[in-house]
């Protein structure tokens, strides 16, 4: 059986990211949020576009004011320059211009004296303290030089990048299309949430959980629905899903039960199977397969057969599928899950045979993480106490227990709950 880290390596090597030449679309500033840039962005503008003032004050010649610590210097105000107005005069020795934040520096001036260090009388201003040379001037191109790379492909567009694109007057940008992920559930016992349940039936909750996780990862879920445990039906459903997706996710039917057909069907459809089981708990049965392009589907398709148990399906998604989707989506880095060091708030147990993921709540307390195991059964069939899970404590193979207060690694799957006391927040701010 493969270890978790071996499986992760195999998966990363199998993922072929979307292609920047083919798998792209154009979005606008208002629809760019969370999308992955597919082409470099450059600008013909320098940033700042011209020398400008960082403060409200007076634009002066440094030569005129460098000695005014000993004695104030009086300058003639020849112009007022608010933001958005082009200066009309050049500053001669003995002159200054009233200038406001963001306004263009006038020719001749090289330094700004903040208004707090001046005293104005009519069209004259006394400079009371010497500035540093070039103080409070934001120089042209000091932030960015026209023509160099402004934003690189493979980054996710969030508020800062969207602000940069807007400032560069880049109103349309090329991003990777969202990866398409087909989701199918296998099992004769499954019903939809709106169907009356017959004896022996349960709701196909995985379909909805996985669709939510796929969407949360920036991909587009395509819900195939429930497929009965019949080889022919399953084969048709998978073959169809391959045509429209970059990745196919199924849940159920991958263990060794009499009705677990997925692996056989994948093989019969020409897939290469790379992973069949992983030494992880929950989630031991995991199938990872690839389809090379054929006439029916022009691009490579990755297949994940997740176990049917609801907790196993979610944990397998977080640990193995989400990183694969992130790499597939064109993101250039940070594909893997985030692990943080935490202290356990209680005792944790494992049989030590497989890498064990225990679900619960991750707290942030005065700068450190704490993990609270979810109360109730840790059966992989129990999805009820999975509510509010934002972290999974990881017990490596060989470790059978963790005592209360001991350090552990926690895989983060949501934002930690901040329980930092108000007192310490105030203290850390001061």
Which residues are near ligand AMP by CB under 6 A?
Answer: 185, 187, 189-190, 202, 204-207, 251-255, 257, 307-310, 381
- As measured in angstroms, the least distance from the Cβ of 185 to ligand AMP is 4
Specify the stretch interacting with Mg ion by CB under 5 A; choose among 60-68, 114-122, 265-273, 306-314.
Answer: 306-314
- As measured in angstroms, the least distance from the Cβ of 187 to Mg ion is 4
Q: Which is nearer to Mg ion, 157 or 227 (by Cβ)?
A: 227
Specify the stretch interacting with Mg ion by CB under 5 A; choose among 107-115, 206-214, 216-224, 248-256.
Answer: 248-256
Question: Of the candidates 57, 106, 252, 360, which one interacts with Mg ion according to CB under 5 A?
Answer: 252
Binding at 323: pick from ligand AMP, Mg ion, none (beta carbon under 5-8 Å per type): none
Q: Which is nearer to ligand AMP, 144 or 357 (by Cβ)?
A: 357
Residue 151 token pair: 């934003």
- As measured in angstroms, the least distance from the Cβ of 317 to ligand AMP is 12
Q: Is residue 285 part of the contact set for Mg ion (CB under 5 A)?
A: no
Q: Which residues of 42-74 are buried (b: 16+ CB within 10 A; e: fewer)?
A: ebebbbbeebbbebbbbbbbbebbbebeeebbe
Q: Which is nearer to ligand AMP, 108 or 252 (by Cβ)?
A: 252
- As measured in angstroms, the least distance from the Cβ of 217 to ligand AMP is 19
Binding at 193: pick from ligand AMP, Mg ion, none (beta carbon under 5-8 Å per type): none
Q: Which is nearer to ligand AMP, 56 or 189 (by Cβ)?
A: 189
- As measured in angstroms, the least distance from the Cβ of 344 to ligand AMP is 28
Q: Is residue 179 part of the contact set for Mg ion (CB under 5 A)?
A: no
Binding at 190: pick from Mg ion, ligand AMP, none (beta carbon under 5-8 Å per type): ligand AMP
- As measured in angstroms, the least distance from the Cβ of 283 to ligand AMP is 10
- As measured in angstroms, the least distance from the Cβ of 356 to ligand AMP is 19
Binding at 310: pick from ligand AMP, Mg ion, none (beta carbon under 5-8 Å per type): ligand AMP
Q: Which is nearer to Mg ion, 185 or 356 (by Cβ)?
A: 185
- As measured in angstroms, the least distance from the Cβ of 308 to Mg ion is 5
Residue closest to ligand AMP (Cβ): 308
Question: Of the candidates 57, 87, 131, 187, which one interacts with Mg ion according to CB under 5 A?
Answer: 187
- Compute how many other C-beta atoms are within 10 angstroms of the C-beta atom of residue 274: 17
3-state secondary structure the chain: CECHHHHHHHHHHHCCCCCCCCCEEEEEHHHCCCCEECCCEECCCCECCCCEECCCEEEECHHHHCCCCCCCEEEEEEEEECCCCCCCCCCCCCEEEEECCCCECCCCCCEEEEHHHEEEECCEEEECCCCCCCCCEECCCCCECCCCEEECCCCECCHHHHHHHHHCCCCEEEEECCCEEEEEEECCCEECCCCCCCCCCEECHHHHHHHHHHHHCCCEEEEEEEECCCHHHHHHHHHHHHHHCCEEEEECCCCCCCCCCHHHHHHHCCCEEEEEEECEECCCEEEEEEECCCCCCCCCEEEEEECCCHHHHHHHHHHHHHHHHHHHCCCCCCCCCEEEEEEECCCEECCCCCEEEEEEEEEEECCEEEEEECCCCCCCCCCHHHCCCCEEEEECCCCCEECCCCEEEEEECCCCEECCCHHHHHHHHC
Cα dihedral angle (160, 161, 162, 163), rounded to 10 degrees?
50
- As measured in angstroms, the least distance from the Cβ of 199 to Mg ion is 17
Q: Which is nearer to ligand AMP, 77 or 383 (by Cβ)?
A: 383
**Burial class for 352, CB neighbours closer than 10 Å (0-12, 13-18, 19+):** middle
Q: Which is nearer to ligand AMP, 125 or 289 (by Cβ)?
A: 289
- As measured in angstroms, the least distance from the Cβ of 195 to ligand AMP is 13
Q: Is residue 305 part of the contact set for Mg ion (CB under 5 A)?
A: no
Q: Which is nearer to Mg ion, 185 or 389 (by Cβ)?
A: 185
Q: Is residue 218 part of the contact set for Mg ion (CB under 5 A)?
A: no
Q: Which residues bind Mg ion (CB under 5 A)?
A: 187, 252-253, 308
């Amino acid at each position: 059986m493969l270890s978790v880290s071996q499986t992760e390596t195999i998966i990363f090597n199998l993922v072929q990211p979307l292609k920047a030449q083919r798998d792209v679309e154009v979005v606008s500033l208002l629809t760019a949020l969370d999308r992955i840039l597919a082409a470099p962005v450059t600008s013909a503008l320098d940033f700042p576009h011209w020398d400008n003032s960082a403060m409200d004050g007076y634009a002066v010649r440094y030569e005129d004011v460098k000695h005014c610590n000993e004695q104030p210097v009086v300058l003639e105000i020849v112009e007022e320059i608010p933001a958005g107005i082009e200066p009309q005069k050049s500053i001669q020795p003995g002159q200054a211009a009233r200038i406001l934040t963001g306004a263009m520096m006038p020719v001749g001036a090289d330094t700004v004296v903040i208004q707090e260090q001046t005293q104005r009388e009519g069209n004259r201003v006394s400079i009371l303290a010497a500035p540093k040379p070039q103080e409070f001037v934001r120089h042209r191109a000091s932030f960015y030089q026209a023509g160099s790379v402004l934003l690189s492909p493979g980054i996710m567009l969030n508020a800062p990048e969207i602000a940069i694109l807007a400032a560069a007057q880049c109103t349309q940008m090329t991003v990777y299309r969202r990866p398409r992920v087909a989701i199918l559930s296998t099992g004769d016992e499954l019903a939809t949430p709106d169907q009356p349940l017959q004896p022996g039936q349960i709701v196909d909750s995985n379909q909805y959980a996985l669709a939510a996780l796929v969407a949360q990862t920036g991909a587009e879920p395509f819900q195939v629905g429930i497929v009965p445990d019949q080889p022919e039906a399953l084969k048709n459903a998978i073959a169809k899903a391959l045509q429209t997706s970059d990745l196919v996710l199924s849940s159920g039917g991958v263990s060794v039960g009499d009705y677990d057909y997925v692996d056989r069907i994948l093989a019969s459809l020409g897939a290469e199977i790379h992973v069949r089981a992983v030494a992880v708990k929950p989630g031991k049965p995991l199938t990872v397969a690839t389809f090379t392009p054929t006439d029916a589907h022009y691009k490579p398709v990755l297949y994940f057969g997740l176990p049917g148990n609801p907790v196993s399906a979610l944990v397998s998604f977080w640990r193995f599928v989400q990183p694969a989707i992130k790499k597939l989506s064109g993101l250039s880095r940070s594909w893997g899950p985030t692990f943080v060091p935490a202290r356990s708030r209680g005792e944790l147990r494992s049989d030590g045979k497989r890498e064990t993921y225990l679900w619960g709540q991750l707290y942030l307390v005065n700068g450190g993480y704490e993990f609270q195991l979810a109360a109730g059964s840790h059966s992989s069939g129990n999805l009820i106490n999975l509510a509010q899970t934002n972290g999974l404590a990881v017990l490596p193979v060989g470790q059978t227990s963790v005592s209360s207060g001991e350090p552990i690694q926690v895989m983060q799957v949501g934002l930690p709950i901040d329980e930092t006391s108000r007192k310490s927040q105030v203290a850390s701010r001061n």
